[in-house]
Structure 1
Amino acid sequence: MPEEKMMPEGSSAPLADVKVIDVGTLLAAPFAAAILGDFGAEVIKIEQPSGDPLRRYGHQYDGVPLLWKVVNRNKKSVVLDLKDPGNHDTFIDLVAGADVLIENFRPGTLERWGFSPTKLQETNQQLVVTRVTGFGQDGPYARRPGFGTLAEAMSGLAAMSGERDGPPLLPSFPLADALAGMQAACATLIALHARRRIGRGQVADVAITEAMIAAMGAQVTAYEKLGVKPRRVGSSSDNNAPRNVYRCADGRWVAVSAPAQSVAERVVRLVGRPELTDEPWFASGRGRVSHRDLLDNAIGQWIGRFRRDEVIDAFEEAGAAVAPIYEVDDVLDDPHFQARQATVHVPDSELDTVCMPNVAFRLSETPGSIRWAGPRLGEHTDDVLNGEHP
């Protein structure tokens, strides 16, 4: 296994000169702050005395929340009740020395507490304020409660997900929050870069609904030009075929994708139907979609005769695209993911170590790293508020 190139310690980390105040809760905004922390930013997580609701969300081990450990890695936990006017000056002092404030309260909440972006930037002109909400800071829905599930519903994702005759399908994990978190991290970095040129910070307004709509690609473009609405097609695609999941003889599953005609040709030859390549409709993705039931039947019957490992070996030998349908233990056992260190064991004061996804992208000279898992509630309050930096 190749040795992982860890992020340089100290000032050589790419974001070591960036201080982030994370007052977000649950997922989208804290996920953005975590990405910055992965690359060396000092991230101070401000929590109410009751703690971030994420501490009570999802699986726990001996009472310790596991999702918390992942989403709030590389952060310092500070307990500070922002609703208490007595803590106003303390928070303003923290913001005065920060580069970024990330929040995801309902619009108007920070303003009600006396912390509007305008006021904060009067204290610190260089401050970037990244605001993540369900629907954005303005518009008719701005003050509605907004969560990732609502964005998945309103973006068109649920309407096009599921089996043909089944109901709309929501993803079983927080997809929209993760996408919005990545968009928020990107917006923050762009604002920090622009600060060098314009000489001041700015406000980034990130709506989870709009992040999800953007991820849907050209669905609105196709509707505006052609009146086409995406349909529920299960694991198939309206753009190309073959593309589906198929059950093997041992009960395991594989996914097959053939976005290029050359790959589609290899697949049908492999499964014993080379004559299909001579059909006029086979020459385009849309043509193959119009005959996807025929293709699925041919591929499904062939795959159903063999064990999954036999199917994958045959596809790889033929140069056709296939992948096993993994469960989580398969992910951990996969030799490629192990070689790439797609998951890592992170030291933790409560659980000794915690296994979690590694930093999602690699930089050749200044790679990111996960130095510690999500902290205990208020673990760093005294150190941060007293100006100490352990």
Structure 2
Amino acid sequence: MTIGGNDERNLTGCFAGLRVLDFSTTIAGPHCARMLADMGAEVIKIESDEGETMRTRPPVRGGCSTAFGQLNVGKKSVVLDLKSPDGLEAVRRLVATADVLVENFRPGVMQRLKMDYPALAEVNPRLIYCSISGYGQTGPSAELPAYAPVIHAASGYDMAHLAYQPGRSRPDYCGIYHADVVAGTYAFGAIASALYHRERTGRGQHIDCSMLEAMLSLTLNEIQWSQFPVQLPARPTFGPVESSDGYVMIAIASEKTFQNLMKVIGRPEWVADARFAKYSDRRANWGALMDGVEAWSRRLTNAECLAALNAAGVPSSAYRTVAEALNDPQLLHRGALADVEDDGGTFKVVNLPFRMSDAKVAAGHRAASLGEHTAAALKELGLAPMAAVEPLE
């Protein structure tokens, strides 16, 4: 049984038939639960009477945030007062019917609400309970407040990125929240693994996902360089190459790529040049090599550079805005964008970046209005309508 009916587009999803309770806010947890919804699960988002904080984030049209919609499309919205006895009873009854719970409050919040894993596992031993937090559920930093930009700094990511910006000493401003997306994606994978484990054991379990550790996993080379220092080239390996009207990215990551690029720029003799022939020598003389590449690229437009590079099989791209990327015919071919709606109208969201030959992977068609499914949920649970809801602190 599902609250408010099934989304027909998700009936063949891998997780069809699973019920997920989404207590999370902002980005990391909602992103994880959105992935579960796209895979066919019934995701019930639990909100306060004021609504989740992202409901007010721009762009807002007709009182509806597309930023919220992107993270919560395909979910149902149920408003409960988690601080009241009636709200707690509703949660316990929902938990008894659920397979997965996702939360990303600061450690200790769910315990104070009597909704931590030990308490709810008594209600449903098969429950898979996923907690996403800045630093993990235990340890000296566990209860520190954390958002993605803080985790970027704490993980070393920002300073690692700065090391690739010659002549600069001030870290970049943060506008893209990698830590949220990465942690939410790791949590999704952990939940899928726990579901498989439950098939074999019959037991649920608690998942403790750390944003700090998730972010650290992005710095693969730097983790090793921190233990065993290496000499980096004066000019970073990957970066913008100037053309007559902009910049292109050229990725020289194999011997074949290097050899093909030398032909494209009219320097085939450099393949045997002592400065560049071996990978180790090439790294030591990377600045001279790329100066030669730019002597070629500066005479051409972006389009001319890319035409020559693509013809030779050299990985390359122009630097594009997100708006330009969204118009890429490749994304249209893949069906990478979905048209969804909320009470403010229609907008586009990105589908999950994979396709499956025998299962549906797609965003739901609607982002629910606040409390849209509360009445149906309470009716299913055999409970009366509730009074106004207090927001969580």
Task: Indicate the residue corresponding to 1:164 in structure 2.
Answer: 166
- Equivalent of 1:363, from 356, 361, 376? 356
| Distance of 2:255 and 2:98 partners within structure 1 | 53
> 2:32·2:187 contact (CA, 8 Å) conserved in 1?
yes
Partner SS, residue 215 of structure 1: coil
| Distance of 2:61 and 2:281 partners within structure 1 | 51
> 2:10·2:362 contact (CA, 8 Å) conserved in 1?
no
| Distance of 2:29 and 2:275 partners within structure 1 | 47
Given the two structures, how large is their TM-score scaled by the length of structure 2? Answer: 0.89
Q: What letter corresponds to residue 131 of structure 1 in structure 2?
A: S
Matches within 5 A, 1:56-135: 56-135=56-135
CA 90–8 in structure 1, closer or farther in 2 if over 3 Å, else same: closer
Matches within 5 A, 1:1-390: 9=9, 12-162=12-162, 163-166=165-168, 167-169=170-172, 171-224=174-227, 226-228=228-230, 236-237=236-237, 243-250=238-245, 252-346=246-340, 348-387=341-380
Partner SS, residue 253 of structure 2: coil
CA 351–92 in structure 1, closer or farther in 2 if over 3 Å, else same: same
Give CA-to-partner distance per residue, 1:1-22, whole Å, 9 cap, x none. Answer: xxxxxx9756543111210000
Partner SS, residue 24 of structure 1: coil
> 1:223·1:229 contact (CA, 8 Å) conserved in 2?
no
Give CA-to-partner distance per residue, 1:167-205, whole Å, 9 cap, x none. Answer: 223552111100000000001111111011122100000
Task: Indicate the residue corresponding to 2:386 in structure 1.
Answer: none
> 1:158·1:170 contact (CA, 8 Å) conserved in 2?
no
The ranges of structure 1 where at least 4 consecutive aligned residues each deviate by more than 4 angstroms after the TM superposition are 7-11, 228-231
Q: What letter corresponds to residue 71 of structure 1 in structure 2?
A: L
| Distance of 2:280 and 2:171 partners within structure 1 | 24
| Distance of 1:57 and 1:339 partners within structure 2 | 31
| Distance of 1:9 and 1:50 partners within structure 2 | 30
Partner SS, residue 266 of structure 2: coil
> 1:261·1:283 contact (CA, 8 Å) conserved in 2?
no
Give CA-to-partner distance per residue, 1:295-333, whole Å, 9 cap, x none. Answer: 221222221211211111111122212112111232122
Q: CA deviation at 1:118?
A: 0.6
CA RMSD between the two structures: 2.1
Give CA-to-partner distance per residue, 1:234-281, whole Å, 9 cap, x none. Answer: 8x33xxxxx32123222x321100100110121122112223211234
Q: CA deviation at 1:228?
A: 4.7
Partner SS, residue 144 of structure 2: coil
Return 5+ residue gaps in structure 2 as ranges. 1-6, 382-393
Q: What letter corresponds to residue 152 of structure 2 in structure 1?
A: E
| Distance of 1:14 and 1:283 partners within structure 2 | 50
| Distance of 1:350 and 1:196 partners within structure 2 | 39
| Distance of 2:118 and 2:199 partners within structure 1 | 20
Q: What letter corresponds to residue 357 of structure 2 in structure 1?
A: S
> 1:244·1:296 contact (CA, 8 Å) conserved in 2?
no
| Distance of 1:26 and 1:230 partners within structure 2 | 38
Determine which structure has greater relative contact order: mean sequence separation of CA pairs < 8 Å that are 6+ residues apart, divided by chain length: 2
CA 312–17 in structure 1, closer or farther in 2 if over 3 Å, else same: same
Q: CA deviation at 1:342?
A: 1.8
Return 5+ residue gaps in structure 1 as ranges. 1-6, 238-242
Q: CA deviation at 1:349?
A: 3.7
Task: Indicate the residue corresponding to 1:240 in structure 2.
Answer: none
